[in-house]
Structure formats: structure tokens, C-alpha cells
Structure 1
Amino acid sequence: MNPLLLEIPLYLETERLFLRAPNQSGDGSIVNEAIKNSINELKDWLPFAQTIPSVEETEVIWREAYINFLKRESLRFLIFHKDTNEFIGVTSFEGLDWDIPKCHVGYWINTKFSGNGYMLEAVNELTELGLNQIKFKRIEIRCESTNLKSRSIPERLGYSLEGVLKNEDLSADGTKLTDTCIYAKIPN
């Protein structure tokens, strides 16, 4: 089936959160503010967070993310708290291979919301969407071996650690080689 014909929701809801595709003007502004608030934590793990982008640059990135969502090239969701409407973070399906079909999940959180289980809840919802509705045959989560907070997400959600690739990637700042953990979940 052509992935453009897949019915993929623009909005998902969990007990405490809602996840929304980046389909609103101004999304870049709220994402940019979260990057500013979280830059010290994000820069250790994410190449895009080595510097704080301008609001305009972030807006362009999120408008492109919506285009990519519609083209089914990546499926990013912004995460919000249901009660307060506060922006919590981002989770996404990336590296989509529709021939298998498979993907990997990415995520990052606004530091002020870290430690509340929000990302676990959001990634669980995305995993359920991927396996049960989109019908992915494989979902991966890849993260640096020393990023214990990130590793706890797939471990708590029942993903299997399939291996650790030694010297597989560069650190977020590009200064050293790092090891990458590959977790995967497949349909039962």
C-alpha cells in the first residue's frame, strides 16, 4: 500500500497527555522556548541542540516537519499536558522504511517536565500506534549507551536490547566516538 493512503491520526491522547502533529502556525515558537530552557541537558545527546536556533529557524523546521508528516517521510508529534496545555516535548517515527515496514522512535523532553513519566507515556502511545494501527513490523529505539535516561524508556516499555554497536556514531558535539544501543519491538 502507498503510505500516503494510510490514515495516520494528527492527534493522539493518553491519560495525562495529548500528542499533536506539527500542523499549527507558531509551533516553532513553543519548541524554541523549550530548547532554550533545556539546552544544557539536550546538547549532550542531540546534534541539533549544540546552539539555540532562532525562533524563525525553528518555525521553518516545524513547518517542514508537517510537510514530511503529510508525505509520510517522518511522523513527528508535539507532546502537551492535557490539563495545562504546556508543551512537554517531542516524539516521532523517523527512518521510515515502508517496504518492511519499520521505523525508529526519537524523543526529547523539556527539562522542567523530566522525571514525571511523561515521555514514557508518550512513547508508549506512539509504539501502540505503530504496532497496532500503522502495522509496523519493527520499531527501533537507538540511543547512546551512556544516556541512561533515554535507555530507560525502551527498557520499561518491553523493547529488547538487540545489541550495542561500538564506535558507531559521533557524540552530539562531534568530538568523540560513541556506542549506540539498539532496542527493538516487533508485533506479538
Structure 2
Amino acid sequence: MIQTNAKQLSPEQRDELLNVLKARFEKNRNRHQGLDWADVQAKLETNPEKLWSLDDMETTGGEPDVVGYNSTTGEYIFYDCSAESPKGRRSVCYDRAAWESRKEHKPENTAMDMATEMGIEMLTEEQYRELQQLGKFDTKTSSWVKTPVEIRKLGGALFCDRRYDTVFVYHNGAESYYSGRGFRGSLRV
């Protein structure tokens, strides 16, 4: 019996996703000045598992786009660039330990589990601030960011948003969740 990789898009899905990513890339040149879509597409076509992750970012509302290139590793860097925290990734607590600590009203999932399932990394505070240099994001929502181990050990987790034309970093119990808070991810290809 031949097994197929469940994390691979059909040719039609691949083409549709590449068209969406190309249109977004061309529309938002300020996010990736000096980069060429043909180079990005060539890299994507040789990494089908990364295309699967990008498709997951897209279908959950993240609107992924290229935000940089690491010349040392030869990797293109994608971030979720949706105006607000991705709709399909909201109402989640921070991680599995936080989820398990809730006695009742548990959310359906956690930010860290979803990121792992999608094959992406949650943005760090530094990456979140870099993203905010490219536009105005999370003016009505907020996004969990990767929390330092020391804070997480004490039960907390960090999230960010943009209000009053300023990026704010806050803390909350990691077990909390809100309809207006999700998470943003990054992917290196």
C-alpha cells in the first residue's frame, strides 16, 4: 500500500495558494523590498511541507507574507500579516499546561499546540515589534507571543497589541483566553 504525506497539498491547492501568496507579495512590496517573487516561489516549490504550513496559516486567517530573507541560511521568512489576530486561532489559552490547569470552560485548543500542529513558530515579542514596523496590526485584537521560560514557570504568558499608535506588551495567566486574542506565527522556508 502506498502512503501519501497528509501534510501535502494537491496540485490545485498548491497553485491556488501560490497565486494568493504572489498577489499579496506584489500588493505589499514594502514588507520585502529587494526580494523577487520568482525566487520565493522556486524555494516554496521545493518545500511542499512548508506550503502545507503556509496553507494552514492562510486558512486560519493569518494572511502570511514574506517579511525578510536570511542570507546566511538562504531562508525566506513569513509572518502572519492579517490586520487583526488570525480569526481561526482565537479563543485559545497559551499552552497545554495552562489548558490542563483549567477546571472548567476549557477552550478547544492552545496557541502553542496549534502552532506545533501547523508547523510554525509563535512570534516572539521582538518579531512582533518587527512586524509592527511594516504596518498597523492588532488595533482591535491582541496576540499571544512566545513567553520567556521564567515567566511561564510562574504561571504567566505574554501578549501584545497596538493601541494609541504604540505597541504594548502585557501579561496574563496562561490559562486565560478571549475571543479577541489569538496568536501570530512565523515560518522559515
Is the TM-score greater than 0.5?
no
> Which TM-score band (shorter chain)?
0.3 to 0.5
Higher relative CO (CA 8 A, sep ≥ 6), structure 1 or 2? Answer: 2
- TM-score of the two chains, using structure 1 as the length reference: 0.37
Higher strand share: 1
